[in-house]
Chain A
């Protein structure tokens, strides 16, 4: 009973801490290193949690191995005593079950709801979500626009973007819609017409020009720590967001860093190289972009900025 009370108090305290906005937005740097992470200090809460989880996985493995040894020893020493043999078997089975549960917990959580394994501290309506910057009041749309309550006649209304509630992002009309199609190569209009883009070939060619300048080997967007590119190929497929059949999102640290949280570094070199090679493949890149954009009918979801800049929905 006493144990239950302590457990309950600990859980409540943890929930209060995790939900505290002041805790999230506090500037801090962890002083105590996580074992196995060397001297890598971090001021990023999500990275810190990730390190603790990795340490937890290692601990699970070690403890499971220890309990397996204990069970095996009990089994050997049972000397035919049925009760002791059963007890030893139960110990071994529990250790294996614990190991299995621990190692598959990530998959189980992700299957239930992918958001359960994402560390996203962004709080709706408070701006950038990194806990350090105040809500934006001025520039938006990559610095080209301004947050206003109403756009003027010479402005394009770009929606709320990163503006506060009640404001909208206004970009001068002269700064939008300036994109040209690629003249030659796989992203030329002529070539894209013969692909799944069909009648949307010109739109797709403009997006391709904006993203990679028509270079099928182009790498863009970089992880913050090691500077490795995570967007590749003609349409700059974001490998932190798209598995492309190779579990590419798992090649980065932190895993699943798609969206607001940027990757720190490449964690799995072999998978990363395979993913880059696949994303640079001309036919695959075009087919995948086609699939994401509904054959070129909607670029506004996966190519939001380029779609806005080129004036292509």
Chain B
């Protein structure tokens, strides 16, 4: 019995290791949003593609990860209807450019509409100690900040 248990544990361990992938999290395709979502903002309603339909992952429905690539994570918080874009590769300039382009495409909105939304663009300390801690915003919106040039 003892030996069977050890062998079973060993087999399970080997199988788990075999199936483990070292690759980056899957890159989410833009959601196939057939429906629209209306967000209320101080500057009027903004109609976006319904990003809650096919999310990459949800954190107990309070945080919806609707897009993830090696450059960024994009999250939507239904409670306060805010967005957070976190950059996830060390070349944060390129990551920001890609993230902003994709953000407009995925939501199906233009720059003016995007600037009416509550969108934070930030960098975690594990990606850049120097750039972390600030909200840079969308670069084409008023009040946005440039990223530091050298990390």
A interface residues with partner B (beta carbon < 8 Å): 142, 144, 178-180, 182-186, 188, 190-191, 206, 209-222, 226-227, 229, 231, 236, 269-270, 280-282, 305-306, 309-310
Contacts and interface: CB of A to CB of B under 8 A. Distances in A.
Contacts, number: 119
Interface stretch (B14-22, B29-37, B42-50, B104-112): B14-22
A184 B77 contact: yes
A150 to B, nearest CB: 26
Given A180-B135, A220-B126, A305-B129, A215 B16 contact: no
A184 B63 CA distance: 10
Residue with the greatest number of chain B CB neighbours at <10 A, chosen from A190, A218, A269:
A218
A217 B84 CA distance: 12
Interface in B73-120: 73, 75, 77, 79-84, 86-87, 118, 120
Chain B interface extent, by class = 35 or more
A208 to B, nearest CB: 10
A117 B8 CA distance: 29
Given A280-B59, A282-B59, A214 B122 contact: yes
Contacts of B73: 215, 217-218
Contact of B123 (A206, A213, A306): A213
Contact of A215 (B20, B81, B124): B124
28 contacts: A142-B129, A182-B120, A182-B122, A183-B120, A183-B135, A188-B80, A190-B80, A191-B79, A209-B122, A210-B132, A213-B120, A213-B122, A214-B84, A214-B122, A215-B73, A215-B124, A217-B57, A217-B63, A222-B126, A226-B22, A227-B22, A231-B126, A236-B126, A269-B17, A269-B20, A281-B60, A282-B59, A305-B125
Contacts of A270: 16
B65 interface: yes
B126 A221 contact: yes
B62 interface: yes
Contact of B84 (A185, A219, A310): A185
A281 B59 CA distance: 7
A151 B73 CA distance: 40
Given A182-B135, A213-B124, 19 more contacts: A178-B134, A180-B134, A180-B135, A183-B118, A184-B77, A184-B83, A213-B132, A215-B75, A215-B84, A215-B86, A216-B75, A217-B59, A217-B65, A220-B126, A222-B126, A269-B20, A270-B16, A306-B125, A309-B129
A306 B135 CA distance: 15
Contacts of B133: 178-180, 206, 209-210, 306, 309-310
Contacts of A310: 133
A142 B131 CA distance: 13
A237 B39 CA distance: 33
Nearest to A268: B13
Residue with the greatest number of chain B CB neighbours at <10 A, chosen from A178, A211, A213:
A213
Residue with the greatest number of chain B CB neighbours at <10 A, chosen from A214, A215, A236, A281:
A215
A209 B126 contact: no
Contact of A183 (B16, B57, B59, B82): B82
A178 B130 CA distance: 10
Nearest to B19: A269
A305 B130 CA distance: 11
A282 B132 contact: no
Contacts of B122: 182, 209, 213-214
Residue with the greatest number of chain A CB neighbours at <10 A, chosen from B57, B125, B130, B134:
B125
- 4 cross-chain pairs, A with B, having the tightest CB-CB distances, nearest first: A184-B82, A220-B126, A213-B122, A179-B133
B80 A185 contact: yes
Nearest to B83: A184
A263 B77 CA distance: 33
A218 B134 CA distance: 16
Given A217-B63, A309-B129, A179 B134 contact: yes
B86 A214 contact: yes
A279 to B, nearest CB: 11
